Structure 1
Amino acid sequence: MKIASWNVNSLNVRLPHLLEWLKIGNPDVLVLQETKLEDHKFPQAEIEAAGYRVAFDGQKTYNGVAILSRQDIADVQKGIPGFADEQKRALAATVGGVRIIDLYVVNGQAVGSEKYDYKLRWLEAVTDWVRDELTRHPQLVVLGDFNIAPDERDVHDAALWNDDSILTSTAERAALKRLLALGLFDSFRLHSEEAGHFSWWDYRMGGFRRNLGLRIDLVLVSEALKARTKASGIEREPRTWERPSDHAPVWIEIE
């Protein structure tokens, strides 16, 4: 099973890219973030015509998450249970016996801001949710745009992206570590320890051309899936297309 994640940064704009990558990448499951569409405007017919079932939860202009699957999608959960939040950032479902949790983690704006505090509260709620999910679904994949670069290998300039910077601050990385400590593993690091592999590049200053990026799109797998995760990667090609998302798809293959 190939499971992938992609922050498309507006599905209205990027639908042709999505349909093309479904053919090229051929994922069995693809989760999306930042669809930025109300549910009645979601392109369900086009996606189903490409051979995928879909579950989605969206809103106008901001956020929005979706799960696409070649197999049936069951037990859909919209939002974080028990966490009052109008933002559409979390979606879960079961596909082929694997529990999938799609996250669009809060950006946080700036360290010390109200949005930063909200990010940390949101991550705490996610951790509680995932802890509960693991008790019922040992085969679990948590993936999406985490808006956190796990360590210095995952940033193009560690002096710029430091302990006091948004996306790399001490508190954000500690929150990610608490999530991992539940029994999850960063699948990319199961297969590569190298620095300099990124999934997001700023549109400004030739970010992609100069490889000034961050690895903030993650696929976390449970202990039950760790040994079965045979490959992982970052698909850079869609970032070269006309009017691309600023993120690239990331993926794993589970036997």
Structure 2
Amino acid sequence: MKIATFNVNGITARLPRLLEWLAESQPDIACLQELKTSDETFPEQALKDAGYGAIWHGQKGFNGVAVLARGAQPKEIRRGLPGDPDDTHSRYLEAQVGDFVVASIYLPNGNPQPGPKFDYKLAWFERLIQHVVGLHGLPGPVVLAGDYNVVPTDGVHDIYNAASWQKDALLQPETRAAYRRLLDQGWTDAIHHLHADKPMYTFWDFFRNRWPRNAGLRIDHLLLNEASAARLDSAGVDREVRGRDKPSDHAPAWVVLR
């Protein structure tokens, strides 16, 4: 079972790249983020023609998450996180696909910090931590997949050079502490678990020539509960997708579970 996450940075503009990647990589489940489209304009038929059933939680112009399943129809469990009825951002979608529970997560960026956007990021993180503790204890496999907007450490396996990012919300001590508390529930960061000794970047900014320089960050993560971690076979990043024509600034990341 191959489960992937991909921040598409606008599903309408990146649809050719998304369909190309789905045909090549053939994930069984794909969690998408930053759709930047409304529910009404989500390209359901194009994905169906590609062999994927889909559920989505759209928002015009920004945010938006989806779960795709190859040859199957995902069953929606939850749309949005509990804990703030006034939060209108489309950032969380939880689904059942076969015996797997998956969540597509688009955690707030939080910039500029300090300020209200950073406060919202930390508050959203707290709501996520409180909600998923119940998912971790499920007897079946659970995968939390998405763009967490967290660079876990200053190590070269997580960021090319932390010096120029020290004021960014992705690297702040509060952000990293929240991510550690999430992991402390017992979740396994699959890519780090298998590739702790080498760079596995998932994001390269469009500015400052960062893609050609491989000046990347690891901010897209797949977290596994105990049942999923026991099945972990491999994990990786489809880095070459970032180098194609009119790409997202993210590359897909994935795990294969036995």
Superposition TM-score, scaled by structure 1 size: 0.96
Q: Is the 8 A contact 2:63 2:91 kept in 1?
A: yes
2:93 partner SS:
strand
- 1:117 corresponds to which residue? 119
Aligned letter for 1:104? Y
Deviation at 1:77, TM superposition (A): 1.1
How many Å separate the matches in 2 of 1:83 and 1:132? 18
Tell me the alpha carbon deviations over residues 211-243 of structure 1, each in whole angstroms, 9 at most, x when there is no partner: 111000001101111121110001111111111
1:66 partner SS:
strand
- 1:239 corresponds to which residue? 242
- 2:161 corresponds to which residue? 157
Tell me the alpha carbon deviations over residues 30-79 of structure 1, each in whole angstroms, 9 at most, x when there is no partner: 01001111011010011011111100010110100000002331243110
How many Å separate the matches in 1 of 2:248 and 2:242? 6
Which residues of structure 1 form unaligned runs of 5+?
none
Aligned letter for 2:165? W
How many Å separate the matches in 1 of 2:186 and 2:101? 14
Q: Is the 8 A contact 1:98 1:137 kept in 2?
A: no
1:198 partner SS:
coil
Q: Is the 8 A contact 2:139 2:227 kept in 1?
A: no
- 1:36 corresponds to which residue? 36
How many Å separate the matches in 2 of 1:101 and 1:2? 15
Aligned letter for 1:156? Y
Tell me the alpha carbon deviations over residues 60-100 of structure 1, each in whole angstroms, 9 at most, x when there is no partner: 10100000002331243110023321000000001121110
- 1:131 corresponds to which residue? 133
Name the CA shift for 1:137/1:47 in 2 (closer, same or farther; >3 Å). farther
1:51 matches 2:51: yes
1:210 matches 2:213: yes
Which residues of structure 2 form unaligned runs of 5+?
none
How many Å separate the matches in 2 of 1:155 and 1:134? 28
Q: Is the 8 A contact 1:111 1:169 kept in 2?
A: no
Aligned letter for 1:94? Q
Deviation at 1:111, TM superposition (A): 2.5
- 2:75 corresponds to which residue? 74
2:161 partner SS:
coil
1:219 partner SS:
strand
Q: Is the 8 A contact 1:55 1:76 kept in 2?
A: no
Q: Is the 8 A contact 1:34 1:64 kept in 2?
A: yes
Q: Is the 8 A contact 2:136 2:187 kept in 1?
A: no
Tell me the alpha carbon deviations over residues 177-201 of structure 1, each in whole angstroms, 9 at most, x when there is no partner: 1111111010002211124321100
Moved more, 222-231 or 47-56: 222-231
2:171 partner SS:
coil
Q: Is the 8 A contact 1:72 1:96 kept in 2?
A: no
Identity of aligned residues (%): 39
- 1:14 corresponds to which residue? 14
- 1:143 corresponds to which residue? 145
Deviation at 1:152, TM superposition (A): 1.7
How many Å separate the matches in 2 of 1:88 and 1:103? 9
Aligned letter for 2:218? R
Deviation at 1:139, TM superposition (A): 1.7
Aligned letter for 2:150? I
How many Å separate the matches in 2 of 1:244 and 1:192? 25
1:215 partner SS:
coil
Deviation at 1:157, TM superposition (A): 0.7
How many Å separate the matches in 1 of 2:116 and 2:89? 15
C-alpha RMSD over aligned residues = 1.2
Superposition TM-score, scaled by structure 2 size: 0.95
